[in-house]
Amino acid sequence: MSGRAISEGTDMLAEGRTRLADSLRVGGWRASASVSEAFHAVPRHVFVGGVPAELAYKDAAIVIKSDADGLPVSASTRPALMAIMLEQLRLAAGHRVLEIGTGSGYNAALIAQIVGASGSVVTIDVEPDLVDQARARLAAAGFADVTVVCGDGADGVPSHAPYDRIIVTAGVWDLAPQWLAQLRGNGRIVAPVSVRGIQLAVAFESAGTHWVGRQACRCQFIRMTGLSAGPETVVPLGPQPGLHALVADGAAPEPCPLYEALSGPAMDVPVPPGLRVDGIAELADMDLWLALTEPRLSRLNIMGRHEGHAYPAQRPIAGRMRLGGFARYDSAGRLGVAALAVPHGLAQNDRPHGVAIHGYGPGGAALAGHLAERTAVWDGLGRPRADNLGLAAYPVGTRPKALEGRMIIRRPNTVLVAGWATPA
């Protein structure tokens, strides 16, 4: 796949592509030479047709298809996150790669650019119109030899197996056995796995009897449809079409009480004095730790229409769970909802910020107070981070040893063991 004849287009497009490729960094991480060169070479604007050039080369996700209610069906992922997952994949020239979730085709082109003429790329998507568009756009950008298949990604593409690498670009609830069966023994699979409603891009490698996940990175992908779609409950919030709450690994609150709770005033509960975070990443680490150590609480994420035209009464709701939230009914049957408050400007600078937890609904203050106490435990443990989370996937039917600090999450095909103790 070498010798691409990719048009530079206008000066503005070339400058935009160069600026994007040179800016692919998150915190202290930045793209390697091979990944950066791929972003320099592949024109994103070709794959996100109809989007102004200045938006095509921003480090932001771009929705490319929505359903009748305005909820996104497919998107071109934020480039910095794409780069992180390509780094996790550890691609090399000559690799045979399977991508689950074609979307726009941009990621498949980046992979093809890295593995070169001696490698091969197969990509599959369940949406026929997206498959047709991606095939045409790949050809237009000089990547006609990428194989684009229409089908359920949970099946993989056995006709082209085995693969050295598999990458999944949609949020999954479980690891499909077909993927693992189509991967070489020394291969690697990178997938955004939902752990209590929090998506973590994880690189899995075989450890003989099970798969060990490394380099967890928090992410946000549109959930996969088809056989690998999880059983998370989607609760409508107020007038529709509009916002929804995605409830994972817990009982779903009734829609009306949940909407009323989130529409009401927030009760601000501060965490222990002196506990401050240095940025949004550290606050997200606290949120992940709370989710994994509070299994009796339901986990909530807010989903909305990508156009940003939610009803006025719902706009405050959308901003109240930027990291997600927690819900429970107390012993008196009162609903409480709580979420970490994201301080203004936290994402723009690294100076320490104080932390608070907002409670909503009749049981919100008590729930927020409980979570505030738990943040002191997180702090005392040295602030466990997502990137040192241990995550292992065992075949269904096995009984991993339960250890303190690890949570066992049973799925139809795998048993996930997550926590900050080293997986056995």
In the chain, where are the structural domains located? 11-228, 233-380
Cβ contact 265:362 at 8 Å: no
Instruction: Give the Å distances, CA to CA, from 194 to 8, 175, 216, 361.
Output: 38, 10, 12, 27
**CA pseudo-torsion sign 61, 100, 44, 86:** positive
H helical segments located in 165-239: 177-181
Cβ atoms within 10 Å, residue 317: 23
Active-site entry in 2, 23, 74, 298: 74
| Active-site residue flag, 74 | yes
Mean of pLDDT values over 71-90? 89
Strands (E), 196-297: 198-206, 211-219, 233-237, 243-248, 267-270, 276-277
Could you tell me the pLDDT band of residue 26, with boundaries at 50, 70 and 90?
Answer: low
Could you tell me the pLDDT band of residue 402, with boundaries at 50, 70 and 90?
Answer: low
H helical segments located in 182-294: 255-263, 280-293
Mean of pLDDT values over 180-208? 94
What pLDDT was estimated at residue 250? 78
Cβ contact 160:381 at 8 Å: no
Residues 24-37: b if buried by 16+ CB within 10 A, e if exposed: beeeeeebeebbbe
Give the pairing type, strands 96-100 and 163-168: parallel
| β-bridge partners, 300 | 247, 325
What pLDDT was estimated at residue 398? 79
Highest CATH level, class, for 11-228: alpha beta
Over residues 280-305, the pLDDT tens digits come to 888 999 999 999 999 899 999 887 65
Could you tell me the pLDDT band of residue 101, with boundaries at 50, 70 and 90?
Answer: very high
d(CA 191, CA 89): 10
